[in-house]
Each structure stands twice: as structure tokens, then as C-alpha cells.
Amino acid sequence: MELLLLLAGCGKRLGNITKTRNKCMIKINGVPILEHSLKIAEKLPISKWNIVIGYQSEQVVSYIENRINPVSVRFVHQVEQKGIVHAMQISSNLLDDDILLNLGDEFLINSHVDKMINFFHDNNVDFICGIIEGSSFEKISKAFSIKCNPKSGYIVEVKEKPITPYNNILGTGYCIFGKETLPYLERVPINSARNQYELCDFITLLIEKGKNGVCFPVGDDLINVNTYEDLYYLKMLEGQ
């Protein structure tokens, strides 16, 4: 399995905090948010690291190369930030295996990603969406909502930033996509409402094409650092 770590975003909603630095380089207790993702990934059976960079890429590349053997890392530069699937599309020529998708601005509490990978290898599924159970509707409305068939357990519908979520299941950027799903990336249409290539549209396309996906509890909680409020909550949680 390969890692696809997305670190290209500029974090506009964080204002001056990200004026001169990438969002994932914001420090919590003196440690960049990125470090949290790296520590999780280093414990996983990952054969290759594919990292999408963009805004303030020099500082991100420097930090990663000082932490990880540069030989095992391949960087892809996303000039225009056109969504998660766009980042996946421009990386697709480097991907030779199943992938673990990871968004660098997601701070996962008590990771179960290793168990999700084991589940993927042990079961006949095409993709897995990592989820957080028991989330508030407010939190889900900033991410995406997932509905599953109660009998089969397969995902039947996903909704990006829903006004009314299906349930209390929070969809996260921690997802696994089997190698056979990756050719469908090029078929994902641009989302007319957001003018981006959205993860939910990719998942919807896979469902329409008969691919089987399931949910897996990927951790106890997750903070997606997009606003001052998110950053404040994360600092409080980490005791800063």
C-alpha cells in the first residue's frame, strides 16, 4: 500500500496565521501539525510515500526530507488547488498500488488506521471511508455524511457539507482506495457548485460503477484545522 498525503492547501480561513507558512506547519506544543500525520504513517505498512505539495512548499519539503529518507518520498506539485480528487488525479501516474489517502490538516485522535488497513486486506472491498462515530451534525456539516445499507454494510450514498446529515457518522479524509478504483479518477466531473473535483463525487462514481465500499472507525475523534475555532480547540485538547 502507498500513502497519498495532501499538503498543498493554503488555509485562507486562518488569515495571518498562514500568510507565510503552510497550514500543516502550524505548531501545537512546538510541533507542526504535519508531524502528527507523519508519526501515524511511519507505523503503517506503507511501501511508498506520495506527497502533494503546493502553498509554501519549500518549508514542507525541507521538514519532510529531514524526517524521512528522501529516497522513499515522491513529491507532486499542485499548482492550482482544485480539490482533493484533483490532487489525486495529478498524482495518479505515480500510484502503482492500493492507496491510503491522508489530508495533512486532519488531526486524528487515537488512530485506528492500522486496523483499517488490516480490514481492507482481509475483506473483499474496493474502498474504505474512515469515519468518526458519534459526531455532531454541526461537525459533519463541515465535512461529509455517509449512508450505508443496513444489511450489506456497503456505502450507498455520500453528501458533501450537508445541511442535514444522514446520521452521526463523520466522513474523514482517511480513506483507502484499491488500485482497481484509481482509473475512475479521470472520470470525476468538476463540481459545478464549488468548481473543484470533490472526494464525494469520486465515491459516488465508484458506487454507481458497482464498487463496494464500507465505513471503518478510524479513530476516537478528528479535528480538521480550517478555522481559528478549530485551531483553538486543538490547542486546548493538546494542553497548550
Task: Give the chain's domains with CATH numbers.
Answer: 2-237 (3.90.550.10)
pLDDT band at 26 (very low <50, low <70, confident <90, very high): confident
CA–CA dist 50, 121 (Å, integer): 20
CA–CA dist 227, 240 (Å, integer): 17
Give the three cell numbers for residue 209.
Answer: 460503477
Region 29-33: what's the mean pLDDT? Answer: 87
- pLDDT digits 0-9 by tens, 41-52: 999 999 999 999
Number of Cα atoms under 13 Å in the Cβ half of residue 144: 23
Q: Are 209 and 184 in contact (CB under 8 A)?
A: yes
pLDDT band at 20 (very low <50, low <70, confident <90, very high): confident
Give the three-state DSSP class for 170.
strand
- Reply yes or no on whether the pLDDT at 212 is more than 80: yes
Distance from the Cα of residue 54 to its chain's centroid = 16
Give the three cell numbers for residue 168.
Answer: 452521526
pLDDT at 5: 97
Region 140-168: what's the mean pLDDT? Answer: 96
- Reply yes or no on whether the pLDDT at 240 is more than 60: no
- pLDDT digits 0-9 by tens, 87-140: 999 999 999 999 999 999 999 999 999 999 999 999 999 999 999 999 999 999
Q: Are 155 and 148 in contact (CB under 8 A)?
A: yes
pLDDT at 202: 98
